[in-house]
Amino acid sequence: MTRPRKLAAGNWKMNGTAKAALAEVAALSAAHPDPKVDLLICPPATLIAQMNWAKKTHPLALGGQDCHAKTHGAHTGDIAAAMLADAGATYVILGHSERRADHHETDADVRAKAIAAEAAGLISVICIGETLTEREAGTTLTVVGTQLDRSVPDIATPENCVIAYEPVWAIGTGKVPTTAQIAEVHGFIRERLTARFGAAAEGFRILYGGSVKGTNAAEIFAVDDVDGALVGGASLTTADFSPIITALENA
Ligand code: PEP
């Protein structure tokens, strides 16, 4: 099986209001009118519908940053996967380390959300990654393997699921693992997916995330089994995100 198109994904986290977001849609679309990789922005949920209208025919995809595992009900402040889809999302980030830390989300929660996302027709971007303490203790592969096994549901396919390896210590810190460390973990994830899903594992996109910038993107994208990036801070402006997209197109 050949690998699908690479994916440059932006996670805006809790940043952005309508005026600036719509300007970013216009700027990003103009900078990459015919992208050779898949482009995804995950803005705050309040912006998805407006950005969806604004992007018109441009192939920029939009995603949520979380969804609830249930379809509806008494869950104040939560958003169902079908609501994200209704607003124009086609992806949803699940199990980001900030949600695992701030909202105590477990692997079982992430797995249930991924099943709900699939039922709503969304592609899950499932985040896994070790803390600095875990890396220094030499348990990175055990931690990542366990999160992968428990967070990714049996119904996962390359079409409905993307894996994002995000070392927690690299997110928003400016610290980046060595290319050898990235290669080791991405190769391990591919092997683990192959053991579980067979030949289909080749089709899963495995993104790297954690302090990706225009200055380090080409080096990271040259690593085997890196099929794109999940980008936080550097996805907020086209000036910062565009060089990363170009590096992925040229990888
Ligand atoms: C992220 O939040 O997923 C992320 C990778 O952030 P940053 O690029 O800012 O490190």
Query: Cβ atoms within 10 A of the Cβ of 14, count?
Result: 8
- Closest residue by CA, ligand 1 atom 4: 232
Which residue shows structure tokens 């971007």?
A: 125
Which residue shows structure tokens 């441009």?
A: 58
Owning domain of residue 124: 7-29+37-69+76-173+184-202+221-241
Report how far residue 24's alpha carbon sits from residue 46's, in angstroms, rounded to the nearest whole number: 15
Q: Is residue 229 part of a domain?
A: yes
In ligand 1, the atom with minimum distance to the C-alpha of 98 is 2
Would the pLDDT of 200 be above 80?
A: yes
Strands 91-94 and 61-64: what pairing? Answer: parallel
Reference 185, options 226, 132, 227; nearest CA is 226
List 206's β-bridge partners, or say none.
163
pLDDT 10s digits, 142-189:
999 999 999 999 999 999 999 999 999 999 999 999 999 999 999 999
Q: Is residue 250 part of a domain?
A: no
Report the catalytic residues: 96, 166
What does the angle CA 219 – CA 225 – CA 226 come to, to the nearest 5 degrees? 45
Q: Is residue 139 part of a domain?
A: yes
pLDDT of residue 50: 96
Q: What is the mean pLDDT of residues 189-218?
A: 98
Q: Is 61 in the pocket of ligand 1 (CB under 6 A)?
A: no
Q: Could you tell me the CA-to-CA distances from 187 to 71, 96, 121, 158, 221 in Å, in that order?
A: 35, 21, 28, 16, 14
Contact 31, 238 (CB under 8 A): yes
Would the pLDDT of 2 be above 70?
A: no
pLDDT of residue 4: 84
pLDDT band at residue 3 under the 50/70/90 scheme: confident
CB within 8 A of 72, min separation 6: which ones? 80
Q: In the predicted model, what is the mean pLDDT of the chain?
A: 97
- Closest residue by CA, ligand 1 atom 3: 232
Q: Where are the beta strands (DSSP E) in the chain?
A: 7-11, 38-42, 61-64, 91-94, 123-128, 161-165, 205-209, 228-231
What does the angle CA 205 – CA 43 – CA 131 come to, to the nearest 5 degrees? 55
- Closest residue by CA, ligand 1 atom 6: 232
Would the pLDDT of 31 be above 70?
A: yes
Q: Is residue 1 part of a domain?
A: no
Residue 112 region, left (φ>0) first, then alpha (ψ -120 to 50), else beta?
Answer: alpha
Measured over the CA atoms of residue 17, residue 72, residue 149 and residue 3, the dihedral's sign is: negative
Question: Both tokens of residue 45?
Answer: 């949920």
In ligand 1, the atom with minimum distance to the C-alpha of 234 is 8
Give me the CATH number covering residue 43.
3.20.20.70
Q: Is 153 in the pocket of ligand 1 (CB under 6 A)?
A: no
Would the pLDDT of 29 be above 90?
A: yes
pLDDT of residue 1: 60
Q: Is residue 48 part of a domain?
A: yes
Give the 3-state secondary structure of residue 90: coil
Q: Is residue 235 part of a domain?
A: yes
Domain count, the chain: 1
Q: What is the mean pLDDT of residues 113-137?
A: 98
Q: What is the mean pLDDT of residues 70-78?
A: 98
Q: Could you tell me the CA-to-CA distances from 91 to 7, 94, 215 in Å, in that order?
A: 12, 10, 27
Would the pLDDT of 36 be above 90?
A: yes
pLDDT band at residue 54 under the 50/70/90 scheme: very high
Contact 220, 227 (CB under 8 A): no
Q: Is residue 143 part of a domain?
A: yes
Q: Is residue 214 part of a domain?
A: no
Q: pTM of this prediction? A: 0.97
